[in-house]
Structure 1
């Protein structure tokens, strides 16, 4: 042959890697890891609760201001990528933790300082994304979680668990603040992969 026939065949496109997620029991272990009798541990617990309840990006969480939260409506207003605004429900559990933190733990951290940050440091400033990522890894270690994690781990768990429990893909897209539905669709592959693994593990002919 003078010409390689395979030269006319397009190379297969490499799919996006599936995001690492946590099981529901692993999420519970992670949420339970911070010591809530310590002001910083209390703050971390509430931050983790909000991440899992809302699917916020860590960068959105650490910049959260008091004026973005409506306690009466149980909503948080987020300005995400491209300055696009979205309203995300907090859920009863996260709202309860947040109310308790704002009523006491936050002031213990501030020590009389004034700050508009929902989750301040002891200096009254907002926490950096890198500092919170360090604390997530610390709490994951306490929880005995050894799988690879990223700052978006709870955001991935939020999306995957919603789909596992029957949520509509477009609703998940809106909550995550994705412009393109295809970005959200990767979580359907995670859910399918989990179903395949469960089938292989529990079915007699799996």
Structure 2
């Protein structure tokens, strides 16, 4: 009776296989996610119908209606919901208001496997939204024995029908959900745990280090350019190598094309010194690992900038996934806490434990620092710049997330910026070796 689901992702389809008859169906686009049963490999319904209805465009050759990262996140949400049903020996057709309320309760009780803390309100709301959309779809199709009621709701995209289920979820606008910038010492600490500093001081000059880790460079991109973890993992080596930095001031920035949510492209300013460090990594460590991958498996270069450095021949040179990045970051955070616990500064240790030290927190820190610095320098519409760099489609998104947080914690944010600037080793920077 159990679903026992796992996520399956459509791969690239050969050109000769892209044309099919109506009777045979149509090919699934690369990146489309759906659920299958581990026991027999069959499609899990009605989840597959829901995925196809909400995530594919209409036409002879359907395409993803959203980014592959969004479909993967929704698939993960629905996997969790089906595991919830398995534990209670229920089917989707059994879902009613009481079962949905029980699921909402579990969301607020569970701990994140990454942070080992209760789910943030935003995560709870996203998972709840995914599940209720599936259930609403099932109600409209008549798949439920005791369907919950639907009600009409006005949104920016028009009128939609949503479930009328009375659950109390943590408020997204609560004070403890406001975003704060990580303390500069915390940022330095977590970066150092991820790998050596890409900059070193020699004779009073700051120069590029001979090498650092991929994980350190990935985190630097989140912190200095505000990239999402998936955007970092999707960066192409050629994009970085083709960016011209020769003769430029290392403290200036160069716009680099990045593909974000919804496959939308934007140009993100990345510091020249960081670009030079990325180039050194691409032509050195990365190329060596790609050569090993070619030697062991005769695989062509996949093009992704950041690759696995491992003694395992099966995985060496493979792209670093967001999940792998998460795991390395969590391990580094644990090492940071362990180190701080051994130091004499108990107040600093307790303060760090209260911070939400995640990969996404580096992006939030970048955004708050940038907003406050722009405003302090006379930019009367600093939020517009932050919106552009972060890749938010709607200004309201940036304002609701960052502007409100910056205003609420202005004194602490200003102090963080002051410490951040004073702690930078950029008094004099030598040419990249």
Q: CA shift at 1:32, angstroms?
A: 2.0
Residues 29-52 of structure 1 show CA distances to partners (whole Å, capped at 9, x for unaligned) of 222222349xx9611111111111
C-alpha contact (below 8 Å) 2:194/2:215 kept by paired residues? yes
Q: Which moved more, 1:173-182 or 1:160-169?
A: 160-169
Matched residue, 2:278: 98
Q: Which moved more, 1:145-154 or 1:44-53?
A: 145-154
Residues 73-115 of structure 1 show CA distances to partners (whole Å, capped at 9, x for unaligned) of 5332112222221011111332232122123222343344334
Distance 2:328 2:212 in 1: 10
Q: CA shift at 1:137, angstroms?
A: 1.6
Q: Which has the higher helix share?
A: 1
Q: CA shift at 1:14, angstroms?
A: 5.8
- Tell me whether 1:121 sits opposite 2:302 in the alignment: no
Distance 2:328 2:356 in 1: 15
Matched residue, 1:149: 357
Structure with bigger gyration radius: 2
C-alpha contact (below 8 Å) 1:63/1:117 kept by paired residues? yes
Matched residue, 2:327: 134
4+ residue stretches of structure 1 with deviation over 4 A? 196-199
The DSSP-based 3-state class of the residue aligned with 2:213 is: helix
The DSSP-based 3-state class of the residue aligned with 1:75 is: strand
Unaligned runs of 5+ in 2: 1-170, 198-210, 246-253, 294-300, 310-315, 338-351, 376-381, 415-433
Output the TM-score relative to the length of structure 2: 0.39
Aligned pair in 2 of structure 1 residues 171, 197: CA closer, same or farther (>3 Å)? Answer: closer
Unaligned runs of 5+ in 1: 1-12, 200-206
Matched residue, 2:192: 32
Say which of 5, 22, 46 aligns to 2:182: 22
Matched residue, 1:66: 237
Output the TM-score relative to the length of structure 1: 0.77
Distance 2:403 2:389 in 1: 15
C-alpha contact (below 8 Å) 1:51/1:155 kept by paired residues? yes
RMSD over aligned Cα atoms: 2.8
The DSSP-based 3-state class of the residue aligned with 1:165 is: helix
Distance 2:325 2:308 in 1: 11
Q: Name which structure has the greater RCO, CA cutoff 8 Å, separation 6+.
A: 1
C-alpha contact (below 8 Å) 2:286/2:317 kept by paired residues? no
Distance 1:169 1:198 in 2: 15
Aligned pair in 2 of structure 1 residues 191, 131: CA closer, same or farther (>3 Å)? Answer: same
Distance 1:103 1:166 in 2: 35
Residues 153-201 of structure 1 show CA distances to partners (whole Å, capped at 9, x for unaligned) of 11111101111212511011000000111211121222223334589xx
Question: How many residues end up aligned between the 2 structures?
Answer: 186
Say which of 361, 367, 385 aligns to 1:171: 385
**Matching of residues 191-206 of structure 1 within 5 Å:** 191-197=406-412
